[in-house]
Structure 1
Amino acid sequence: MIGGAAHVFDVLAAAFRQEDVETCFALMGDANMNFATRLGEAGCRMIYVRHEHCAVAAAMAYARKSRRIGVATVTCGPGLTQLTTALPAAVRAQLPLVVFAGEAPLKAGWYNQAIDQAPIVRATGAAYLSLHLPERMPVAVRNAFLQAKRERRPVVLGVPFDLQNLIWEGEVDLPVPSKALLPQMAPIPPNPEDLARAAAMIDGARRIVVMAGMGAVEAGAGRACRALAARCDALLATTLPARGLFHDDPFSIGIAGGFSSDTARACFAEADLVVAVGCSLASHNSDAGKLWPGAQVLQIDVDPVTVSQGRVAANAHLRADARLGVEMLSEVVSERSSDWRSAALAKRIATAPADASVFSGEPGVHDPRDVVAALDAALPLDWEMVNSSGHCSFYFAQMPGRPQERFLTIREFGAIGNGISFAIGVAAARPGDTIVMFDGDGSLLMHVQELETIRRHGLNILIVVLNDGAYGSEIHKLRAEGLDDGGAVFGRTDLAAIARGFGLGGETVTDLGEIPRLVDGFAETGGAAVWDIPISDKVYSPVIRRAHPNIGGLG
């Protein structure tokens, strides 16, 4: 109950708090500052960022890491339009968010920040709800949380700020919160006939890969996938977001997709069946169909698909909860002796480099593969890893010994510039942990202002940057096409000095042998820092090489 001279923004803040909102990422403006202030006073942890995009991007990582609904708030007009990169990324990653956005005042005959916000938001794939009736607003807030949870996408609430500032008439009875209304549904078991068909498909295959996605992670199906693979002499793999789910299994070939290792690609080329457990079967997951050219795909999912992102993605389906479906499948498939799962293959998986390409060395700069190997050897296993996007992300994904619960990647929209925001979101979700964010120089510089956010909020984040002085993907693609790369080259900015200017630690790492000492020092002091590591711009990833086979530069 809320009484007295409460404003509408007081009631809105109370409605959000009733939804167990513990953290909100915000940038204030006229159309949301009263709401944000009251939300903070009500006990919600407010993380005030320097750019609206970063508020929603941080909420994305918070949602993925905490498995809660991410919450952000921005003002109207330009505050809302800044979200048009983050929102489609959240939609494609199926992340539930609720964003409180102001709207221009209804009573104004003209307002310079007025814009029709709903079509902009809906064009991203997110939902937009205009809240123009104060008496209905608490229920609308509750329903937004229900919608975000059920549809697994962002819901943006647009509230005119003149309505927010009205005095609430009378007492307030907040509606029953969403958690009391969410259906309590048990996991879906498979249909017996579907199960028999799936088992026959597995029994008839010779080379099988059991591939797990985020649906398998969320259903706790990791152990069941391991058991199924062992029973039918199959290898294990994951999608990129689920990487690390089988990090300690000797027959896990790692990531399936564009970031697959040389060994994984060779194994997938032999496969005649891929069992996709809780996978969305996106194009990148199969490297646009080139990763397993001779394999059928059996999808196990509560929402199976045939066509995904313009291609036939699955040939057969088992509709079921990921864990239950795999467990019951293991009971009915025939057990077979080890053939593919050999000691020689296990050794190859454990020792072969992800990318065996040979490049000519350059003085004064590092091969990014050597940087990642040095970091992987030195960074504690219980530190949280955050991988950004861009050319560098292939290399940072190659840490096969890292468990899935300690590694976050969100790349569904392919935008760079998100890494620092994702790190902030993970730090908010795991406040007692040390966060390590891996990024490229071009990506970090897009939102380098958030270094101040990290310092102001006392977040424990180490940022490691591969600095090639350019937009890495673009220079390699331009060179492959025989075009001038000048527009993508801007020189190696002194990122360590910039970090120190924001009050953070800053190191330029010229000797990789110093990394263990630096890690020990950061573990002792905590805080936040940027490590600027110069890398060669002549080394390119297999992703680039496959897309541009005419590219030169191999030594």
Structure 2
Amino acid sequence: MSEKIYTMLARAFAAEGVDVCFGLMGDGNMHFMTTLAGLPDVRAYFVRHEHCACTMAAGFSRARDTVGVASVTCGPGLTQITTALASASASNIPMVIFAGESPLGAAWYGQRIEQAPIVVATGAHYIACHSAKLMAKYVSEAFFIARTQNRPVVLGVPYDLQQLMVEDDQPYQPSTDFIPTLAPLQPPPTDVAAARVMIEAAQRIVVLGGRGARLAGAADACRALAARTGALLATTLPARGLFCPDPFELGVAGGYSSAVTRDMMAKADLIIAVGASLTSYTADSGKLFPGARVIQIDEHPVGVKHARRTADHYLRADARLGVEALIEAVGTRAPQAGWRDAETARRIAQEPADTHDFPVPADTIDPRRAVAALDAALPKDWVLVNGTGHNAHFSVHMRGRKADDFITIREFGAIGNALSQSIGVAAARPDATVVVIDGDGSVLMHMQEMETIRRYNLRILVCILNDGAYGPEIHRLRAQGLSDAGAVFGRGDMGRMAEGYGIRGRVVTAEEQIATLTQAFTASEGPEVWDIHIADTVISPMTRRSLVKHG
């Protein structure tokens, strides 16, 4: 049977297990998107900006632990997604992007541009699909790379080639047919023995879990190792909540750490990092646990990350099996006084993340108190999407929420993404209520996607921590005695702006409103936006440390 290449490509995507796709149509991808959307069991989300389509795919990927899929047209459609690709590359997110390319047979085309160098510069992989007979292999290769390398891949398919007829005479072989099924990696006994010596010599141990520990199902083993060795627990930011509700979980290790976490990590003499890449963020550029030796349990230890040596000893193994081997190797011992004890548990449970005093102008809320009110009011099983920027520090400290219900993608440091990520998360978990907490500057970058939220009636609560400015910039400018006028824009009324998109909007100027609003939202249907006016005078601890360092 003969069919158009774009039809064959759409069926190939479906054969790869694609059941959700995000896209913005143009000449270069409209036939593919329309065909894919028409296939059984495929949900297509037609959105308002190409960048947001890719960011939604990233959020979907992170929420479902699978390949995210998006589609854009050629030329300007492709150039719009570079920040989204860079963010996904930095965060090791597997995605496949179907992009049009300018027609091969056209002597001149107004949107022609060399797409491959643009994509490769972001860290993503590019496949130029210029052979009609190899189209199916291009798709399989793209998904194979995305799945095995955890990176985004862009398929560039010329507009005119998509219109050619091909014979459907060969069954499609999905990438999963070529991915070897391997047993989890067992740790070498000699390396386990060396790690045991380090553990026995240590007095104040922290077991630090990352996304690799979550994906390997190592959380229970990490808790058991911590109990056996008298250790505390902590996580990387992407794995926040992994050990919830363990009373000895310190929370996030890194620049976002609470005061208690920084105090205890500074005293640690051994870190056992499980499925954590030990980035500069996690180690706070080496300042978080300066006196500790480090054991890293990882299937692919790299030795150097972000220009820093990652560990003193490497245990190359599956995260769960590596931890279980250590449990068998070490003996049980009583915890060090002042470490894993009732007083430490009390401090973790009761002491605020930050107690620095700031003046708070009238009709605004201290962002720490606003987040505390959200934490108290919002059900713990709602999925939280955490944004990027100055205010992201505060919402990290919402406790009692599992790692599966916390999504953050911030390795590239780009703002303007969380709103779109929340749409991807809602698509991945359609039965969940999704809460996105982000700053006003970030939300305003792509506020047009509120129309997408309304059109698909997604159950998303958008909480905007609105300080009327770009937070990091105003605090640095003020600290240096410079005018902050270029970074201050005013709070406006983003609740009424949401209503312009057909979404219920509320302005919040007192923390007491949040409990009442939560009750009303719980009893309602569809999305809602809370414009929470926060004080621009409150500086996060991470920014305060940066001001001390840089002036």
For normalisation by structure 2, the TM-score amounts to: 0.98
Q: Report the alpha carbon displacement of residue 477 of structure 1 after superposing the two structures with TM.
A: 1.2
Note the alpha carbon deviations across 1:432-453, whole angstroms, 9 max, x for none: 1111000100000000000001
SS state of the match for residue 269, structure 1?
Answer: helix
Question: Match of 1:298?
Answer: 295
Q: Report the alpha carbon displacement of residue 473 of structure 1 after superposing the two structures with TM.
A: 1.1
Matched, 1:74 2:72: yes
Q: Aligned partners of 1:97, 1:46: CA distance in 2, in Å?
A: 16
Q: Aligned partners of 1:301, 1:481: CA distance in 2, in Å?
A: 43
Q: Report the alpha carbon displacement of residue 394 of structure 1 after superposing the two structures with TM.
A: 0.2
State whether residues 11 and 172 of structure 1, in contact with CA within 8 Å, keep that contact through their aligned partners in structure 2.
no
Q: Aligned partners of 1:207, 1:42: CA distance in 2, in Å?
A: 57
Give the letter for the 1:199 counterpart.
R
CA RMSD of aligned residues (A): 1.2
**What aligned pairs does 1:112-131 form with structure 2 within 5 A after superposition?**
112-131=110-129
Question: Match of 1:479?
Answer: 478
Q: Which runs of 5+ in 2 are unaligned?
A: none
Note the alpha carbon deviations across 1:524-555, whole angstroms, 9 max, x for none: 11201110011111001001110112899xxx
Note the alpha carbon deviations across 1:271-307, whole angstroms, 9 max, x for none: 1111110011110110000000101111000011221
SS state of the match for residue 295, structure 2?
Answer: strand
Q: Aligned partners of 2:171, 2:515: CA distance in 1, in Å?
A: 54
For normalisation by structure 1, the TM-score amounts to: 0.97
Q: Aligned partners of 1:262, 1:197: CA distance in 2, in Å?
A: 33
Deviates more, 1:316-325 or 1:39-48: 39-48
State whether residues 265 and 288 of structure 2, in contact with CA within 8 Å, keep that contact through their aligned partners in structure 1.
yes
Quick one: which of 12, 20, 25 aligns to 1:23? 20
Deviates more, 1:281-290 or 1:178-187: 178-187
Deviates more, 1:479-488 or 1:28-37: 479-488
Q: Aligned partners of 1:512, 1:550: CA distance in 2, in Å?
A: 33
Matched, 1:341 2:345: no
Q: Aligned partners of 1:171, 1:381: CA distance in 2, in Å?
A: 50
State whether residues 480 and 550 of structure 1, in contact with CA within 8 Å, keep that contact through their aligned partners in structure 2.
no
Q: Aligned partners of 1:41, 1:362: CA distance in 2, in Å?
A: 53
Q: Aligned partners of 2:512, 2:535: CA distance in 1, in Å?
A: 18
Question: Match of 1:240?
Answer: 237
Q: Aligned partners of 1:385, 1:180: CA distance in 2, in Å?
A: 35
Question: Match of 1:439?
Answer: 438
Quick one: which of 51, 54, 57 aligns to 2:52? 54
Q: Aligned partners of 1:142, 1:527: CA distance in 2, in Å?
A: 38
State whether residues 363 and 510 of structure 2, in contact with CA within 8 Å, keep that contact through their aligned partners in structure 1.
no
Q: Aligned partners of 1:411, 1:364: CA distance in 2, in Å?
A: 31
Matched, 1:254 2:251: yes
State whether residues 138 and 174 of structure 1, in contact with CA within 8 Å, keep that contact through their aligned partners in structure 2.
no
Q: Report the alpha carbon displacement of residue 259 of structure 1 after superposing the two structures with TM.
A: 0.2
**What aligned pairs does 1:519-530 form with structure 2 within 5 A after superposition?**
519-530=518-529
Percent identity of the aligned residues? 54
Q: Aligned partners of 1:292, 1:209: CA distance in 2, in Å?
A: 10
Note the alpha carbon deviations across 1:390-427, whole angstroms, 9 max, x for none: 11100010112111111111110000000111100100
Question: How many residue pairs are counted as aligned between the two chains?
Answer: 548
State whether residues 235 and 253 of structure 1, in contact with CA within 8 Å, keep that contact through their aligned partners in structure 2.
yes
Question: Match of 1:307?
Answer: 304
Question: Match of 1:137?
Answer: 135
**What aligned pairs does 1:57-456 form with structure 2 within 5 A after superposition?**
57-168=55-166, 170-339=167-336, 340-456=339-455
Matched, 1:458 2:457: yes
State whether residues 297 and 314 of structure 2, in contact with CA within 8 Å, keep that contact through their aligned partners in structure 1.
yes
State whether residues 15 and 174 of structure 1, in contact with CA within 8 Å, keep that contact through their aligned partners in structure 2.
no
Q: Aligned partners of 1:172, 1:219: CA distance in 2, in Å?
A: 40
Q: Report the alpha carbon displacement of residue 338 of structure 1 after superposing the two structures with TM.
A: 2.3
Give the letter for the 1:266 counterpart.
D
State whether residues 440 and 466 of structure 2, in contact with CA within 8 Å, keep that contact through their aligned partners in structure 1.
yes
Q: Report the alpha carbon displacement of residue 514 of structure 1 after superposing the two structures with TM.
A: 2.0
Deviates more, 1:124-133 or 1:179-188: 179-188
Q: Aligned partners of 2:25, 2:169: CA distance in 1, in Å?
A: 26
Give the letter for the 2:490 counterpart.
G
Q: Aligned partners of 2:429, 2:403: CA distance in 1, in Å?
A: 15
Runs of 4+ in 1 over 4 A off after TM superposition: none
Q: Aligned partners of 1:252, 1:171: CA distance in 2, in Å?
A: 56
Q: Aligned partners of 1:406, 1:235: CA distance in 2, in Å?
A: 22
Q: Report the alpha carbon displacement of residue 149 of structure 1 after superposing the two structures with TM.
A: 0.3
SS state of the match for residue 442, structure 2?
Answer: helix
Note the alpha carbon deviations across 1:305-338, whole angstroms, 9 max, x for none: 2211111121110000000000111111121112
Q: Which runs of 5+ in 1 are unaligned?
A: none
Q: Report the alpha carbon displacement of residue 515 of structure 1 after superposing the two structures with TM.
A: 1.4
Give the letter for the 2:548 counterpart.
P
SS state of the match for residue 495, structure 2?
Answer: helix
Q: Report the alpha carbon displacement of residue 167 of structure 1 after superposing the two structures with TM.
A: 2.0
State whether residues 95 and 154 of structure 1, in contact with CA within 8 Å, keep that contact through their aligned partners in structure 2.
yes
State whether residues 15 and 172 of structure 2, in contact with CA within 8 Å, keep that contact through their aligned partners in structure 1.
no
Deviates more, 1:174-183 or 1:237-246: 174-183
